[in-house]
Amino acid sequence: MRKKVILLLLTASLAMSATACGKKKETSSSSGLRTSTASFMDSGSQNQGSLASSSGESSENSSASISSPTGDDSNAISSSGNSGTETPAKTYTPASEITDAELEAMNQAIEYVYTTAEVGTAGSSLKCADAAGYLLEWSESNSVDPETIKQQAYDYITGNYDDAADFKKQMDATYEQVLVLAKGDDNAKGLLTDAGMDQAYDFPWNNKDLDVIKAIKDAADEAE
């Protein structure tokens, strides 16, 4: 009888132990599952963060690549606008088509300097300013190229003036005033007003051609 009781108690004890072990295994499994799930969720969050970061960087890079050319185009347009305001190069009459009237206009410009400009006298700077205004006015309508002007001016000066050295001084003083008036500023306007010629000329001579005036000065230098 006692043996049976002992056997029954051992059997019951073994059964309880097996049940307890099963519960522990199940608990351990659940705990592992929860840990695994948490790790997966954490990994997913990190991946999402990485994707978001990559997406943000891509957007920034994309924006940078788009905005940069736009800035360049804007600068190019601005730069193009500035260059568009420059005075285009003047087209001269071909040498074979230069008329006597055009050469006569140049002769008259030289004569005006010879009869108007003075050097070393009272008010000489104002008289030279008058002559300079005449040259600037003539340069706007002239279509003869500077090289031809220089050749023709040299011939006119040496053929008509015995005192070519004196004309050179007149032309030098006049050319100085040409450079002052060509600026077209208030100082230039005041100089013309003082000379009494502010209404006589098309100031500020937007189509002036300093090259042809310089050609006459160079001819006077060589004719001296």
Q: Mean pLDDT throughout 109-115?
A: 98
The confidence band for 154, taking pLDDT boundaries of 50, 70 and 90, is very high
**The pTM of the whole model exceeds 0.75:** no
Q: What percent of the chain has pLDDT over 70?
A: 61
The region of weakest confidence among 36-40, 86-90, 106-110 is 36-40
Q: Given this model, what pLDDT does residue 95 score?
A: 84
pLDDT at 37 over 70: no
DSSP state of 135: H
pLDDT at 49 over 90: no
What is the token pair recorded at 138?
A: 């003539």
CB 174, CB 135: distance < 8 Å: yes
DSSP state of 145: -
CB 168, CB 117: distance < 8 Å: no
User: Alpha-carbon distance 36 to 111, whole Å?
Assistant: 107
Q: What is the pLDDT of residues 165-179, one digit of tens each?
A: 999 999 999 999 999
Query: Between the CA atoms of 130, 135, 139 and 143, what dihedral angle is there, to the nearest 10 degrees?
Result: 140
Ramachandran angles phi, psi of 155, nearest 5°: -65, -40
pLDDT at 198 over 80: yes
Q: Given this model, what pLDDT does residue 89 score?
A: 77
pLDDT at 44 over 60: no
Q: Mean pLDDT throughout 174-203?
A: 94
Q: Is 14 exposed, middle or buried (0-12, 13-18, 19+ CB in 10 A)?
A: exposed
